[in-house]
A and B are shown apart, each in its own frame.
Chain A
Amino acid sequence: MEAKTKDLWVFIETNEDGSPQRVGLELLNPGRMMADKQGGKLVGVVIGNNIADTAKQASIYGADTVICVEGAEYQHYTTDAYVKALYHLITKYAPTTVMIGATNNGRDLGPRLSARLQTGLTADCTSLDIDEETGNVAWTRPAFGGNLMATIMCPDHRPQCGTVRPGVFKRPEAGEDKAEYIKEEFHVAPEEIRTTLVEVVKEAAGELVDLEGAEVIVAGGRGVGGPEGFEPLKELAETLGGVVGASRAAVDAGWIPHAHQVGQTGKTVGPKIYVAAGISGAIQHVAGMSSSKYIIAVNKDEDAAIFNIADYGIVGDLFEVIPALNAEIKKLKA
């Protein structure tokens, strides 16, 4: 289809309670820069149930226009309802660019939507810009397990679509609530939704961990040696107001649940501080945490690959270093 506007859309995914997924608000940050370069508006698109507050947040964090679609059928994400609603909106308003957070739902939605629109999608971007020569979005993403970066463009199809990894961009500074709000009435009949939620099975209490939203992550790998080896890491994480992460090796060994896993088969994170304790630094792990602001590595092996990306590396035994680090920070901050 043809773009009728130069607008850039950010899809802001909502949770069941109507609150926004963090990445949606994060995308308003690069979205503003790109919309300005494209010469169009920055539009936040909010779909869900009880979304008034999220719509307002989209405005406060920089959207010029906020389009809302509200209904009980959108409370729990389904591919069929969300693709129908977004397809309706996009064909009606014809933006030039659509960005979606690369959450599990975003990665379910993006390809299905772009196929229906018969346009290109670039998945899991970690860097975004507008190509000066052509005005196309230059979507940059990792491939080959993080070994290679590719910059991809979609020159002849509109809208150009991309999913962007959570945690890569910081949410913009809050401003005034001055967006234009557009309420779109669009509903999807139950029989058009071909999947049904039967039940939700949560792992044991206390195992929900918000890695993507964490400011500080203290992660352990093979070097922690067993489930009890995570105790000093937990203590340091508590001191720093963070959470505990893990490499695949530690998860596969059964020392800590998968929910804590960072890396290619786990979560992609971008905290302010990432402490990698007893983690060798396999490329699959690094792919999930290399955008952290400060990387601190603790490893006995002086040649461990993790030191190549660390801002601060300590060569030593983590069971000596981590408790001492914890004690010293507590002392200095007291």
Chain B
Amino acid sequence: MNILVCVKQVPDTTQIKIDPVKHTLIREGVPAILNPFDGYALEAAARIKDKDPATKIVVVTMGPPQASAVLKECVGIAADKGYLVTGRTFGGSDTLATSYILSHAIKKIEETEGKFDAIFCGKQAIDGDTAQVGPEIAEWLDLPQVTYGLECFATEDGLNVNKEIDGGYEVVNVKLPCLVTFTMPSFEPRYPTIKRKLMANKAKFVELGDDFDPTMDAAHYGLNGSPTHVKKSFTPPVKEGGMKIKEETGEESAKKLAGILVDKNIV
């Protein structure tokens, strides 16, 4: 099977702190990591390759030149080849514009790598949390989609995707070619091996720059080609006026709180 995995380099949002005075994000010193959900997508591809070693896994990312670090990480884990889509004119793209660029990049990459049977994405990136780019790529490329995948298995005529639902999962069969987005499975994704890490250090990645596809319409990408615009951003308001209860014993504290909750008709 020929699989493309779309990945993104993101700031580790678990390490972002808020400047208590200016109420802005402190981004300095926050490590850039492979979006964890994209890691699950790569793991899903690797599991297909475990069963069918003829499988090829290509990764693509869009971002500044330093984003190639995540391509290297993916090769260390399981990918065979990597492509970096990078261009100044791509900056400021919202999700629809990003998916427009990526869908063209995918067609370009297919000229070299052959048609992809499946495109895997993370459910969402942990910085934007939109979960939009995957389904939007699927629309541009007219592919069937399955979202919230946990794991998937090749079948005779497609893929069976275990799709997360409340209280369990559905098995959904989808015909190839298709696009699947992945959420957190119950198993731990694999780590890079020493051997693969050495390979990754030597890996060269193909760059697709601003003009990789002259047929692209500038009205569809970049800041000006994006239908949505951020009007303002702000840090969420801090809740004030909370009451802290600390009596001699936990039991006394609990009694005091119970009294308040009942008095105020909260319970």
Contacts and interface: CB of A to CB of B under 8 A. Distances in A.
B131 A107 contact: yes
B131 to A, nearest CB: 5
- Binding site secondary structure of chain B: mixed
A260 to B, nearest CB: 10
A143 B128 contact: yes
Interface in B163-208: 164-175, 178, 183-184, 186
Contact of B262 (A111, A272, A329): A329
Contacts of A279: none
Given A311-B243, A313-B245, A321 B13 contact: no
A324 B250 contact: yes
A206 B129 CA distance: 30
Contacts of B242: 307-313
19 contacts: A111-B131, A115-B135, A120-B96, A121-B95, A122-B228, A138-B231, A146-B236, A147-B13, A152-B228, A197-B171, A198-B170, A199-B170, A200-B168, A201-B171, A264-B129, A290-B236, A308-B242, A311-B243, A315-B253
Given A104-B148, A153-B228, A332-B258, A201 B236 contact: no
A174 interface: no
B39 to A, nearest CB: 13
Interface in B1-57: 11, 13-14, 16, 18, 25
Contacts of A40: none
A108 interface: yes
Contact of A124 (B94, B130, B134): B130
Interface of B: 11, 13-14, 16, 18, 25, 94-96, 99, 126-136, 138-140, 144-148, 160, 162, 164-175, 178, 183-184, 186, 226-236, 238-239, 241-246, 249-251, 253-255, 257-262, 266-267
Given A121-B95, A150-B233, A265-B183, 7 more contacts: A115-B96, A138-B231, A143-B233, A200-B170, A259-B167, A316-B249, A316-B250
A79 B259 CA distance: 50
| Ranked 5 nearest A-B pairs via Cβ | A120-B227, A320-B250, A194-B144, A324-B254, A328-B258
Contact of A79 (B99, B145, B261): B145
Contact of B245 (A107, A148, A308, A314): A314
A95 B131 CA distance: 24
B42 to A, nearest CB: 18
Given A122-B228, A316-B250, A198 B260 contact: no
A92 interface: no
A284 to B, nearest CB: 7
B196 to A, nearest CB: 26
Interface string A232-248: 00000000100000000
A207 B160 CA distance: 24
A209 B16 CA distance: 31
A301 to B, nearest CB: 12
A183 interface: no
B253 A203 contact: no
A104 B139 CA distance: 18
A74 to B, nearest CB: 16
Contacts, number: 255
Nearest to B10: A144
A308 B128 CA distance: 25
Contact of B261 (A121, A144, A329): A329
Contacts of A209: 167
A111 B135 CA distance: 6
Nearest to B253: A314
A114 B132 CA distance: 10
Contacts of B126: 145, 264
Given A153-B231, A195-B146, A313 B136 contact: no
A195 B257 contact: no
A331 B227 CA distance: 57
B227 A104 contact: no
B147 A104 contact: yes
Contacts of B164: 104
A124 B169 CA distance: 22
A180 interface: no
Nearest to B139: A115
Nearest to B242: A310
A317 B160 CA distance: 47
Given A111-B131, A153-B228, A195-B146, A312 B257 contact: yes
